[in-house]
Amino acid sequence: MSYLELLKLASTEAVVVVTALVVLAIGLTTRREATGVTVATAQGDQNVGGSSSARTNAICSFIAALGLAIAIGTALMLPRKATLFSGMLVITPLTSLFKIICMALAFFAVLLTKSEKSLRHPGEYLAILLLATVGLMLLVSSEELLMIFIGLELLGLSLYVMVAFDKTDVRSAEAGLKYFLFGSTSSAFTLFGISLIYGMSGITSLAAISEKLATVSVQPLLAVGIVMTLIGFAFKIAAAPFHLWAPDAYQGAPIPSAAFIASGSKVASFVVLGKIVLVGFAPLHGDAAWHAMVAGWSPVLAALAALSILVGNFVALAQSNLRRLLAYSAVAHAGYTLIGLVAGDREGFSAALFYTTTYAITLVGAFGVVALVRRETAGDDFSNFSGLISRSPMLAGCMSIFMLSLAGIPPLAGFFGKFYLFSVALRADAGHGLLWLVAVALFGSLISLYYYLIVLKVIFVDEPSLAIASSPDHLSPDLLQRIAVAVLAAVVLFLGLMPDALAAGLLAAMP
Of 379-408, which residues contact another protein (CB under 8 A)? 393-394, 397
Nearest-approach distance from CB 494 to another protein, in angstroms: 11
Q: What distance in Å separates the CA atoms of residue 54 and residue 63, rounded to the nearest whole number?
A: 14
Choices 128-136, 140-148, 153-161, 312-320 (CB under 8 A): range interacting with another protein: 312-320
Site string for another protein, 201-240 (x = CB under 8 A): -----------------x-x--xx-xxx-xx--xx-----
Shortest CB 52 distance to another protein, Å: 26
Task: Give the torsion sign (CA, 378, 381, 383, 388).
Answer: positive
Which residue number, 67 or 348, has a Cβ lying nearer to another protein?
Answer: 348
Is the Cβ–Cβ distance between 176 and 253 less than 8 Å?
Answer: yes
User: Does residue 244 interact with another protein by CB under 8 A?
Assistant: yes
- CA–CA dist 471, 454 (Å, integer): 24
Contact in structure between 498 and 505 (CB atoms under 8 Å) = no
What is the closest distance, in whole angstroms, from the C-beta atom of residue 410 to another protein in the complex?
10
Residues 44-83: x where in contact with another protein by CB under 8 A, - otherwise, as a string: ----------------------------------------
Q: How many residues bind another protein (CB under 8 A)?
A: 59
- Identify residues 139-168 at the interface with another protein (CB under 8 A): 164
For another protein, which is the closer residue by CB, 262 or 288?
Answer: 288
d(CA 233, CA 15): 27
Which alpha helices (DSSP H) does 378-392 contain, by range? 382-385, 388-391
The answer to whether the bond into 241 is cis (omega within 30° of 0) is yes
Neighbours of 446 (CB within 10 A): 12
Interface with another protein in residues 246-305 (CB under 8 A)? 247-248, 286, 293-296, 299-300, 303-304
The number of residues in the chain equals 511
Of 58 and 318, CB closest to another protein: 318
The total of other beta-carbon atoms located within 10 Å of residue 366's CB is: 29
Inter-residue long-range contacts of 11-15, CB under 8 Å, 24+ positions, other chains counted: 11/74, 11/78, 12/71, 12/74, 12/75, 12/78, 12/99, 12/103, 12/137, 13/134, 13/137, 13/138, 15/67, 15/70, 15/71, 15/74
- Closest approach, Cβ 261 to another protein, in A, equals 18
C-alpha–C-alpha distance, residues 270 and 264, integer Å: 10
Residues lying near another protein in the complex (CB under 8 A) are found at: 164, 170, 173-174, 177-178, 181-182, 185-186, 189, 218, 220, 223-224, 226-228, 230-231, 234-235, 241-242, 244, 247-248, 286, 293-296, 299-300, 303-304, 310-311, 314-315, 317-318, 347, 393-394, 397, 416, 419-420, 423, 427, 447, 486, 498-500, 503-504, 507
